[in-house]
Amino acid sequence: MQYYIKRWLTYITLVIALVAGSLSLSGCNLQANIPNMGQGSSATTSQASDAITGTLDVYTLDIGQGDAHLIKVGNEYTLLDTGDVDHRDRLIALLKQYNVSSLKNVIITHPHADHMGGFYALIKAGIPIGHVYDNGMDASTSVYKTYIKNMTAKNIVHSALYKGAVVDLGSGATFTVYAPEEGNYILDNKGRPDPNDNSIVGKLTFGKFSMLFTGDASRAEENRLIKEENTKLSSRVLKVGHHGSASSSQKDFLRSVRPELAVISVGLHNDYGHPTSQALKRLNDENILVYRTDTQGTIRIHTDGNTWNVTTER
């Protein structure tokens, strides 16, 4: 009997040691070591891991009800979505706070105001932009027309991102696109391309670190991604789709991505009830640690491609 008790105590001690060694959580700071688990495409992961230099930071900006993610690689910046019209001043203030003088890329996941509304502020502030990408969909809104007008006036290079594209973010960081599919948009119940469910979905990879960005993808786009990409979606971090709506973050989708933590960009006391209790429950059921801008402010993820940590504004 003593022999089995001793073996059991040894096993418990080993488990505790392994958990403590791989994950350290204190206050609003999360640190983790990243073992090589061969996520996604092995060729892409290998190339990124061999080529990376310096560090990478992802700031999920606290800009209210909308999305704006600032990716810093070395001294180069990419902005993924730009927030809403009402938060233009806040966006520019945050970019100044992080010493952003130019943007290598701006990626607009889909033509809704809470994702592209801040683009005009970038132009007005005189921030040079190297390349603008979007999902290839147009819109009849004034926000979209202003977006096109300003790109044309400034002669900014503009192109669409479709499944299979890879954007070089610099220093070995890449953004691999899984959706939408060119010429095969997901349609709504009126037979028209659905802006949310044709959001640009892509994985940021930097060494062994990965983060999946999902725009406003909900059930239809998640279902297509599960079917067509499956384990390629696997990422350390998930940017939760559609601000945590009830129709996003399905159980099967979460199990394809298998994130260790998730970030939700959402406004405090917003009119939509985001993030919903349904989405939060599904994330909790999969033991995914959740960070959210409405309660924690701007969320920063810092990585050297091997280890990473998360800090929050509050």
Domain housing 47: 39-312
With a cut of 50, say whether residue 23 has pLDDT above it: no
Q: What value does the mean pLDDT take over residues 213-221?
A: 98
Q: Is residue 11 part of a domain?
A: no
Q: Do 265 and 293 touch, CB atoms closer than 8 A?
A: yes
Whether a cis peptide bond, with omega within 30° of 0, leads into 180 is: yes
Please give the residue that has the higher pLDDT: either 21 or 72: 72
Summarize pLDDT for 37-85 with one digit per residue, the tens: 333 332 233 333 458 999 999 999 999 999 999 999 999 999 999 999 9
Of residues 116 and 50, the one with the higher pLDDT is: 116
Asked whether residue 282 is assigned to any structural domain, the reply reads yes
d(CA 232, CA 253): 12
199, two tokens: 């959001």
pLDDT of 29 > 90? The answer is: no
pLDDT digits (tens, 9 = 90+) for 142-201: 999 999 999 999 999 999 999 999 999 999 999 999 999 999 999 999 999 999 999 999
Residue 292 backbone phi and psi in degrees, to 5: -145, 140
pTM for this one? Answer: 0.86
The pLDDT assigned to 22 comes to 40
Dihedral-angle region of residue 263 (phi above 0 means left; psi in -120 to 50 means alpha; beta otherwise): beta
CATH code assigned at 243: 3.60.15.10
In a domain, 46, yes or no: yes
Q: Which residues are 211's β-sheet partners?
A: 204, 237
Residue 91's pLDDT band (cuts 50, 70, 90) = very high
For 167, residues 6+ apart whose C-beta sits below 8 A from its C-beta are 78, 105, 107, 133, 161, 174, 175, 177, 202
pLDDT for position 25: 35
Q: Is residue 205 included in any domain, yes or no?
A: yes
Among candidate residues 30, 26, 49, the one with its CA nearest the CA of residue 306? 49
Residue at 242 is within a domain: yes
pLDDT at 51: 82
Q: Once rounded to an integer, what is the mean pLDDT over residues 99-122? A: 98
Cα gap 81→263, rounded to integer Å:
15
- HEC string of the chain equals CHHHHHHHHHHHHHHHHHHHHHEEEECCEEEEECCCCCCCCHHHHHHHHHHCCCCEEEEECCCCCCCCEEEEECCEEEEECCCCHHHHHHHHHHHHHCCCCCEEEEECCCCCHHHHCCHHHHHHCCCCEEEEEECCCCCCCHHHHHHHHHHHHHCCEEEECCCCCEEEEECCEEEEEEECCCCCCCECCCCCECCHHHCCEEEEEECCEEEEECCCCCHHHHHHHHHHCHHHHCCCEEECHHHHCCCCCCHHHHHHHCCCEEEECCCCCCCCCCCCHHHHHHHHHCCCEEEEHHHHCCEEEEECCCEEEEEECC
30 pLDDT tier (thresholds 50, 70, 90):
low
Question: Do the Cβ atoms of 217 and 249 come closer than 8 Å?
Answer: no
What is the pLDDT at residue 27? 41
Q: pLDDT tens-digit profile of 263-293?
A: 999 999 999 999 999 999 999 999 999 999 9
Residue 135 belongs to some domain of the structure: yes
Our count of domains for the chain comes to 1
Average pLDDT, whole number, for the chain? 88
Q: For residue 77, is it within any domain?
A: yes
pLDDT beyond 90 at 32: no
In a domain, 13, yes or no: no
Mean pLDDT of 19-40: 43
